[in-house]
Structures are given as C-alpha cells and as structure tokens.
C-alpha cells in the first residue's frame, strides 16, 4: 500500500520540526565539495513542504543553521549564507502560491546584512499566507534562546516590580522565540545522528523523536510520510498511564 494511504488524517501532527543533517556526507559520497550537498538540500526542503501541505500540517520548523555552525570554515559559511539569500529570493513567489507564511527564529542579528534584509522581506511578503507556517531556525541555538528568555524575564519582572514567583512555564514560553507556535509533536532528524544538537530543547519536552539514516539531500515526500506514519503508531502518554 502507498505509504500516504496509511496515514490517518485524524491524527496529523500539528507541528513537525526537522534537523536537516547530512549534506556534507552526501556530497563526500559523490566526491564533491560540501557546498554541493547544501545546494542539493534545497530540493528536500521543497519535497518536505509539499508533503506537509498535502497533509495540511500547519507548522513546520526547519533547523537550517546553528549558532555552532559559525565555527565551520569561512568559505562554507559564506557560501551557505549566499545560498540562503538566493533560495529565499527565488522561492518567495512559490511560498506565496502555496499559501506558506515564513517566520525566522534565532540570533538573526548575527546574520550578514544582505541575508537579514532578504529574510525580512520574505517574512513581510508572506505574512498574509495562512495554509502553512514555515519557521526557519537560523543562527539558532536552544541554549541561546533560553538564556535570552531568562534575561528578558528578569528585566521585565524586576523593572515592572512583578514577583519572580509568578514565573511559570506558560510565562516562560511567552519569552521564547517560538511563543506564537505550538510545541512540535514530531521531531525528525536525518543522517543517522542520534542527538539534538542544541535544537528546541524546551519545546521538544514531549515531542516524539524520529531518526532516519537518510541523508538530507535524499529526503523526500515518501520519507516524510513514513515519519508521520511511525508517529501515528506511538502512544503519547504525557506522564499518565496508558489506560485512558
């Protein structure tokens, strides 16, 4: 049976987060430069959005560049930023045609100016789209985000003379860059690595984790459906017993 036909449309995850990993290894297997892998990763992004659209998933978050990725060789970082600018520019119309609204999270101030301008423009141009929210994590690290939230909470509470005891997880969530979005139901990581690499540490407290050996440039629509089908087999207990 076609993998898509196995999917229960009453049990669709509302938010799927993806760690898009394995571009470098994919290129190396072909005797090419790592950049070739990044370039070929763009197609997998399109496939994922296509599949998410078909399932009417309202939120997709994609980890595109971590804070730690700044420590890669300058040539790779510069080319990645260039690729990002070009992709955003080339894909904005397609995003609008598909009703996709773009959001960006991360330490965006650290991005090259050209990249930031292009990003802001695409966010603005897509702001009225309402079929799917695409949240791109750029220069993102969960520890950075959490520390940032703590600083802002302290500032607001101390300056506003509000009691710190009132801070709870609902208030904390408001200070995260994902405050407008539900927590991910499903987290997918490609390339066979079994780690989180500083991604959404707060938000994935109860997400279902799915790891696949597929390298990101090979990840396609069917792989996405397979992950969703596997997610639907899981029993999410949220600390309760499985009896009700």
- H-only helix segments in 61-167: 74-97, 113-125, 142-159
Please tell me which residue in 21, 23, 133, 185 is annotated as part of the active site. 21
Separation between Cα atoms, residue 137 and residue 198, nearest integer Å: 11
Query: 89 or 195, CB closer to Mg ion?
Result: 195
Tell me the HSE value of 189 on the side-chain side, using a 13 A CA sphere.
15
- The window from 19-27, 59-67, 83-91, 199-207 that contacts Mg ion (CB under 5 A) reads 19-27
The mark string for 133-172 relative to ligand IPE (x by CB under 6 A, - otherwise) is: ----------------------------------------
Torsion angle in degrees (nearest 10) through CA of 65, 69, 74, 79: -20
Q: Is 32 in the site for ligand IPE (CB under 6 A)?
A: no
- The window from 46-54, 57-65, 107-115, 150-158 that contacts ligand IPE (CB under 6 A) reads 57-65
In order of 121, 161, 164, 174, 229, the CA distances from 168 in angstroms are 35, 17, 9, 10, 34
Q: Is 65 in the site for ligand IPE (CB under 6 A)?
A: yes
159 flagged as catalytic? no
Separation between Cα atoms, residue 28 and residue 141, nearest integer Å: 26
The mark string for 80-119 relative to ligand IPE (x by CB under 6 A, - otherwise) is: x---------------------------------------
Instruction: Provide the total of helices (H) and of strands (E) in the chain, helices listed first.
Output: 7, 6
Q: Is 21 in the site for Mg ion (CB under 5 A)?
A: yes
Closest contact distance (angstroms) between CB of 63 and ligand IPE is 4
- The window from 2-10, 16-24, 119-127, 226-234 that contacts ligand IPE (CB under 6 A) reads 16-24
Query: 164 or 194, CB closer to ligand IPE?
Result: 194
10 flagged as catalytic? no
Torsion angles phi and psi, residue 72, rounded to 5: -75, 165
Residue 194: CB atoms within 10 Å = 7
How deeply is 220 buried, as exposed, middle or buried, from its count of CB atoms within 10 A (0-12, 13-18, 19+)? middle
Q: Is 20 in the site for ligand IPE (CB under 6 A)?
A: yes
Active site residues: 21, 69
Q: Given the rule CB under 6 A, which residues bind ligand IPE? A: 19-25, 34, 63-66, 69, 80, 191, 193, 195, 197, 216
């Amino acid at each position: 049976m076609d993998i898509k036909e196995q999917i229960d449309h009453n049990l669709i995850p509302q938010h799927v987060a993806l760690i898009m990993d394995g571009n470098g290894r994919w290129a190396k297997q072909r005797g090419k430069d790592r950049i070739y892998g990044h370039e070929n990763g763009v197609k997998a992004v399109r496939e994922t959005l296509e599949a998410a659209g078909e399932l009417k998933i309202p939120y997709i978050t994609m980890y595109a560049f971590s804070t730690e990725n700044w420590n890669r060789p300058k040539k790779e970082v510069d080319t990645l930023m260039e690729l990002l600018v070009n992709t955003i520019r080339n894909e904005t119309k397609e995003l609008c045609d598909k009703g996709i609204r773009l959001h960006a999270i991360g330490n965006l101030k650290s991005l090259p100016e050209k990249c930031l301008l292009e990003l802001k423009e695409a966010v603005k141009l897509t702001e009225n789209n309402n079929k799917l929210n695409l949240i791109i994590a750029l220069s993102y690290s969960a520890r950075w985000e959490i520390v940032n939230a703590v600083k802002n909470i302290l500032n607001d509470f101390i300056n506003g003379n509000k009691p710190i005891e009132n801070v709870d997880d609902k208030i904390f969530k408001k200070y995260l860059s994902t405050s407008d979005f539900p927590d991910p139901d499903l987290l997918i990581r490609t390339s066979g690595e079994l780690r989180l690499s500083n991604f959404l540490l707060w938000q994935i407290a109860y997400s279902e984790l799915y790891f696949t050996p597929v390298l990101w440039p090979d990840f396609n629509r069917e792989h996405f459906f397979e992950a969703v089908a596997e997610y639907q087999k899981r029993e999410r207990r949220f600390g309760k017993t499985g009896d009700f």
